[in-house]
Structure 1
Amino acid sequence: MKFKKWLVCSVLFSSLWMTTAFSAQAADSSIQNESIYDLYVDRYFNSTVANDYNVNTKDHLAFAGGDFKGIMDKMDHIRDLGFSILSIGPVFSTESYDGKAILDFNEIEKHFGTADELEALIEKTHNQKMKLMIEFPLNNYSAQHTWASEEDKQDWIISKDGVLQLDLENPEVQTELIDTIVAFATKYKIDGVKLSEIEGAPTEFINEMITALKEVRNPMYVIALEESDANFDVNYSEQRMVALRDAFKNTDYPSDVISSVESNDLLLIDNLVSERFTYHSALENMFPPTRIRAAIGTLLTLPGVPYMTYGTEIAMNGQVPEESHQIMNFRVDEELIEYIQDVNSIRNKSDALRSGDIEVLKNENGYAVYKRESEEETFIIVVNNTSATQRIDLSSEVVGEDKEVRGIFESDLIRTTDDGSYRIVIDREIVEVFQVTDRKGLNTAYIIAMGISYLLFILFLVIVWKKGKQRRRDDENKAK
């Protein structure tokens, strides 16, 4: 069965290459062509003990040992999943494993590695045809931050109680923050910045920072996982994230959010500061890998920019950060990982799935059917996130005249019925991607080749049989 699936997928992937002649890495610098994999350096993989200062894997709030070299060691995992942007959190000198209790912007956190190792990570990411993004918090640093003790910066500070809180409306603070991140982006060849802790930051200030960053190099994506009116490259909505999460944490739930997604939307079901999607699906007494498969399969086939938190591919659980920021476990069942790889592979090769038009044909309580289309290709996506088998009959006006529809993962070839429609039947809890192509007649060349192969095989058996018969005769003659 696995061989059959592999064979079908291989043929279809080859077809995608031929019909689109496109590679995501060769695309123009539009964030719609990207997909983001987000992690914290400390929680990914520990490659060297040389930087394991006061590491304690038993303490959920302590450093666990993950480092830049660890990400490099596991780069193939991220590349094979198909994500094009690697987001690694803050990398500055910090008191906390998540990098946010920043001590000094002029130093790289020694637990993570050296400046040279960060540069090596960026270079390897680029060599793998991916991009690297770091997180830059605008506020709430360590109370021991270098700015806290500098006399000329005391009027920048609102509070030192627990954390260093800055006055983000102060023009000097704004200038310093812009200069800091621009200098970093100029020195290290990063491709994007995720701004965080932006509450209280005027929109004009954020826009000025975005403009300054984009002048460093192209592309330079700037995003945030906080709602804002600033000119970020994608639109983040807490409500949309919750709606997507709630649509897939169980079956038969309202899925109206699918119809409202637009090309500039950030698509995610959880993030590094929220509860894990697995936590919510487990509360519903559902099997998390199946729920994740349905959710990610949908996100990767909708317009917008897919964004996945590390560990989703192994159904990592957790309600609060201390629980959900687990050390990544790479010794897991491969089925969910392979599914994400397959769908992302199709998306990366398909202009229609990344930036093509969408037409929603049906969407009701977990059962959604939509068409993604570009000038070169057409796909029909069927999301059956329900508890029952579903059927839909699509007219030739939707699919096209004299076409055939082939399911890439679960279904066989579909051609028109007697009434001219295309009947698609999908089992429960499955997202299927159908490729629409011109109808092909009998493949004469293939049939001839198979016939010749069959005749040659028969001829081979006859020759072997005759040689065996002759050998027995010779043996009998010798015995006489």
Structure 2
Amino acid sequence: MKFNKWLMTGLMISGLWITSSQPTNAETNASIHNESIYDLYVDRYFNKVISNDYDVNAKDPNAFAGGDFLGIIEKMDHIKKMGFTTISIGPVFATETYDGKRILDFNTLEKRFGTPEEFQQLISEAHKQNIKIMIEFPLNNFSVNHMWNAETDWIQSTENDVLTLDLTNGEVQQALTDTLIEFANTYGIDGVKLSALDGAPTSFINELIATVKEVRDPMYVIALEQSDANFDVKYSDELLVHFRDAFKNTDLSTESIVTTDENELLLFDNLNTERFTYYSALENMFPPTRIKTALGAMFTMPGVPYMTYGTEIAMNGQNAAESHQVMNFRVDEELIEYIQDINSIRNKSETMRTGKIELLENDNGYTVFKRYSDEEQFIVVINNTSETKRIDLASDVVGEDKELRGLFESDIVRADDNGNYRLVLDREIVEVYQITDRTGLNKSYIFAMALSYVLFLGFLVIVWRKGKQRRSEQNNK
């Protein structure tokens, strides 16, 4: 049965693209609206080589754990499989801390992460797989031993061994700009996540964004801090909390998340917050189911999905020591496969990324909306409630003589005698229906079922023949 379900799901999702005239993500013009972002720290991902494990102590949550650039290359297929198109890897400069933020020297890469050649190899390997690499560039709060600690006119504070610069100082602004531009030109990165924005004038941030975007196209610039600057997408602490609170349990209000637009960053946690799993566990809920439902919403609503590493294994944590765990790749793949499927739908449908949205129903966890363009139409049903839900859609919503094809459950819904399309969905499930012209016999479904049974029977025949041969050989001894 598992084989049949896998086969049918693959064929139904691939069938979406057969009927669609939309180009794939790689064929469209570069835009952050076509991206989905996977965020990680180099040190916490995968330790490929031990030659750069200086003072590494994997048992100390505050120490370096050994992850490196080559480790990301080693596990890039994992990220590619889930369908992410951009990897954000944190700061990569010489640093005193595993997260890369207590920077010592902008002119040197952190030796525990790898060499300049290995970093260049990471970018080259990512580009071969049509994946973009984004680095984090903190504007402030470096190590007190930073290369700029002698520039006394630049320094605002050195409390707690943290070097805080005066970001209103023109020389500081120029030094930061020159550093970032030189780095971007040297390595050919595809994006920058600016951080530690506090105290930076908006005008300076805008100038920095504009200057770094001149290096190459595309060059995405984002932040996980609220700002009025001209970032490619807007980040909102409030929206993050709303997503988290809407999906940590069932039957919760979704009023605050159904008005997203394509220029917003969609996420329910990040490396600076508690893990989403932490909140769902507090509710005594099963985290993988909560994560699947939340991601189902994030990847089908307007906006740019942003997922923290470890979400695919329901990583938990209330603070950095807990939530910045070393990634564990030896886990059940059910959640990973779900992310792959829902991300595949988004990646291969321009309508799902940038199309219009029409809200059809929204009631305490039960949300139904239409995503549409001139080329495609979808109905998305999010049943984040504690019971089975039903909705009847009129022909003025779906269209005349149409059918709805479920891309996960493989069901086909046609109009009843009254012209209504009845959708019934079990609790805690997200389903995406593609609206297509009504057909006669579902030849794809019949072929798939026939093929699955032929393969199964062929397998039985092979097993039977091998068994017969083995028995014959034993009798002849």
| TM-score normalised according to structure 2 size | 0.92
RMSD: 1.8
User: 1:38 is matched with which residue?
Assistant: 39
Q: Distance in 2 between matches of 1:145 and 1:405?
A: 60
Conserved? CA contact 2:266–2:303, under 8 Å: yes
2:11 maps to 1:7: no
Which of 147, 156, 160 is equivalent to 2:154? 156
SS where residue 78 of structure 1 aligns? helix
Query: Once the 2 structures are TM-superposed, how far is the Cα of residue 27 of structure 1 from its aligned partner?
Result: 1.5
Q: Does 2:65 match 1:64?
A: yes
Matched, 1:140 2:141: yes
Match of 1:80 in 2: 81
Counterpart in the other structure of 2:400:
401
Residue 100 of structure 2 corresponds to residue 99 of structure 1? yes
Equivalent position SS for 2:148? helix
Compared CA separation, residues 370 and 448, structure 1 to 2 (3 A): closer
2: CA distance, partners of 1:10 / 1:296: 19
Match of 1:247? Answer: 246
Other-structure match for 1:111: 112
C-alpha contact 1:25 1:130 (8 A) present in aligned 2: no
| 1-structure distance, mates of 2:329, 2:448 | 44
Within a 5 Å distance, the mapping from 1:292-307 to structure 2 comes to 292-307=291-306
Q: Partner residue of 1:363?
A: 362
CA contact (8 A) 2:222 2:232 kept: yes
**Post-superposition shift, 1:122?**
0.3
| Secondary structure at the counterpart of residue 241 of structure 1 | helix
Residues 41 and 445 from structure 1, CA distance in 2 versus in 1: closer, same or farther, beyond 3 angstroms?
closer
**Percent of aligned pairs sharing the same letter:** 64
Equivalent position SS for 1:106 = strand
Give 1:12 shift: 2.6
Q: Give, in angstroms, the shift of residue 29 of structure 1.
A: 1.3
Q: Secondary structure at the match of 2:258?
A: helix
- Aligned to 1:259, the other structure's residue is in SS state coil
Instruction: After TM superposition, give the deviation of residue 282 of structure 1 in Å.
Output: 0.3
Unaligned runs of 5+ in 1: 455-480
C-alpha displacement at 1:443, in angstroms? Answer: 6.2
Secondary structure, in 3 states, of the residue corresponding to 1:134? strand
Summarize the Cα distance change of 1:118–1:445 in structure 2 as closer, same or farther, 3 Å threshold.
closer
**1:357-394 alpha-carbon deviations (Å, 9 max, x no partner):** 10010111100000111222111100000000000000
User: Where has structure 1 moved over 3 Å in runs of 4 or more?
Assistant: 442-451
Name the amino acid aligned to 1:111.
Answer: R
Alignment of 1:197-236 (within 5 A): 197-236=196-235
> Judging changes above 3 Å, is the alpha-carbon distance between structure 1 residues 239 and 21 closer, same or farther for their aligned structure 2 residues?
closer
Tell me the CA shift for residue 219 of structure 1.
Answer: 0.2
Could you tell me whether the CA contact under 8 Å between 1:264 and 1:304 is conserved in 2?
A: yes
Deviations 1:189-237 (Å, cap 9, x if unpaired)?
Answer: 1000000000110000000000001100000000000000000000000
SS at the partner of 1:235?
coil
Larger radius of gyration: 1
CA distance in 2, matches of 1:338, 1:356: 25
Alignment of structure 1 residues 122-201 onto 2, 5 Å = 122-148=123-149, 150=150, 153-161=151-159, 162-201=161-200
Does the CA-based 8 Å contact 2:22-2:350 persist in structure 1? no
Distance in 2, matches of 1:365 and 1:91, equals 43
Residue 107 of structure 2 aligns to a residue in which SS? Answer: strand
Instruction: Please name the residue that 1:373 is paired with.
Output: 372
Greater CA deviation, 254-263 or 195-204? 254-263
Distance 2:249 2:447 in 1: 50
- In structure 1, the partner of 2:382 is 383
Structure 1 residues 102, 382: CA separation in 2 closer, same or farther (over 3 Å shift)?
Answer: same
> Which residue does the alignment assign to 1:51?
52
Kindly state the Cα deviation for residue 441 of structure 1 after the two structures are TM-superposed.
1.7
Letter of the 1:262 counterpart = D
2-side partners of 1:268 and 1:445: how far apart?
36
- The number of residues matched between the two structures is 449
Q: Give 1:425 deviation, angstroms.
A: 0.3
Alpha-carbon distance between aligned partners in 2 of 1:171 and 1:443, rounded to the nearest angstrom: 67
Counterpart residue number, 1:460: none
What code does the residue aligned with 2:353 have? R
> Contact 1:5–1:409 (CA<8 Å) still a contact in 2?
no
* CA distance in structure 1 between the partners assigned to 2:449 and 2:167 by the alignment: 72
- Once the two structures are superposed, what CA deviation does each residue of 1:311-368 show, in whole Å capped at 9, x if it has no partner? 0000000000111000000000110000000110111101111111100101111000
User: SS at the partner of 1:257?
Assistant: coil
Aligned counterparts of 2:106 and 2:447: Cα–Cα separation in 1: 69
Cα offset for 1:241?
0.3
State the distance in 2 between where 1:79 and 1:408 align.
Answer: 21
1:85-134: per-residue Cα shift (whole Å, max 9, x none)?
00000000000000000000000000000000000000000001110000
Q: 1:412 deviation in Å?
A: 1.1
Judged with a 3 Å threshold, the aligned counterparts in structure 2 of structure 1 residues 61 and 424 are, in CA distance, closer, same or farther, namely same
CA–CA distance in structure 2, aligned partners of residues 449 and 410 of structure 1: 14
Q: Does 410-419 or 1-10 show the bigger shift?
A: 1-10
SS of corresponding position for 1:49: coil
- What are structure 2's unaligned runs of at least 5 residues? 454-477
Amino acid at match of 1:346: I
What secondary structure, in the 3-state scheme, does the structure 2 residue paired with 1:59 have? coil
How far did residue 21 of structure 1 move? 4.4
SS at match of 1:147: coil
Equivalent-residue separation in structure 1 for 2:75 and 2:423 (angstroms): 39
Residue correspondence of structure 1 range 413-424 to structure 2 within 5 A: 413-424=412-423
Shift, 1:450, TM fit: 11
Give deviations 1:266-298, integer Å, cap 9, x for gaps.
000000010000000000010000000000111
SS at match of 1:318: coil
